[in-house]
Amino acid sequence: MIKKDSNPKDALGTKKVPMSVIPGPVMMEVGNALLEGALKYGRHNYREIGVKASVYFDATMRHMWQFWEGQDIDPDSGIHHVTKAIASLCVLRDSMMRGNWSDDRPPKSEDGWVADMNCKSARLVNKYPDPPAPVTQLSQKQSDNHS
């Protein structure tokens, strides 16, 4: 029996888009989030009619703020807020790739504004090198356990 050092398919396949790097459970959750939209609005309706950037930006940010403020699960769907945000971004990006989105973003900010803000943040962090510990969900739970 002749052994090959590598399978010729391996040499070609490793240079293609790697689907194996995508976490399956997250994609399954996103599938359910997109299913909810399909059932409510029609499957792939956004591909036909397009989307406004602001609507999907707002939806994404609402879900992320709800998550950030401690609500993990969307009470309307039972789906995690982070997953709902990912689904919103999937729809927006799909429409962008197809060229059927409305770019209703505000006028562009000057390049470098984030770097400027990061410099200001760094100056504050350097000015206060030993801040008190933040109050977080984890610290609250630990405090409750010691009471």
Say which amino acid occupies 32.
N
Instruction: Say what the pLDDT of residue 140 is.
Output: 74
Token representation of residue 37: 């939209």
Choose among 64, 128, 52: nearest CA to 95.
Answer: 52
Residue 7 lies in a domain: no
pLDDT tens per residue across span 28-53:
999 999 999 999 999 999 999 999 99
Determine if residue 50 is left, alpha or beta; phi over 0 gives left, psi from -120 to 50 gives alpha, anything else beta: left
Establish if 76 belongs to a structural domain: yes
pLDDT over 70 at 147, yes or no = no
Structure token pair of residue 105:
């973003």
Residues 74, 66 contacting (CB under 8 angstroms): yes
Q: What is the tally of structural domains in the chain?
A: 1
Query: The domain containing residue 49 runs over which residues?
Result: 21-111
Token code pair at residue 50: 């397009």
Q: Would you say residue 145 has pLDDT above 70?
A: yes
In a domain, 145, yes or no: no
Q: Residue 84 and residue 69: Cα distance in Å, rounded?
A: 15
- Which H or E run includes 52? strand 51-52
pTM of the model: 0.85
What's the confidence (pLDDT) of residue 3? 62
pLDDT band at 1 (very low <50, low <70, confident <90, very high): low
pLDDT value at residue 137 = 85
Convert the pLDDT of each residue in 66-116 to its tens digit. Answer: 999 999 999 999 999 999 999 999 999 999 999 999 999 999 999 999 999
CA distance 15 to 30: 26
Per-residue pLDDT tens over the stretch 109-135: 999 999 999 999 999 999 999 999 999
Nearest to 64 by CA among 75, 51, 80, 52: 80
| Residue 121 located in a structural domain | no
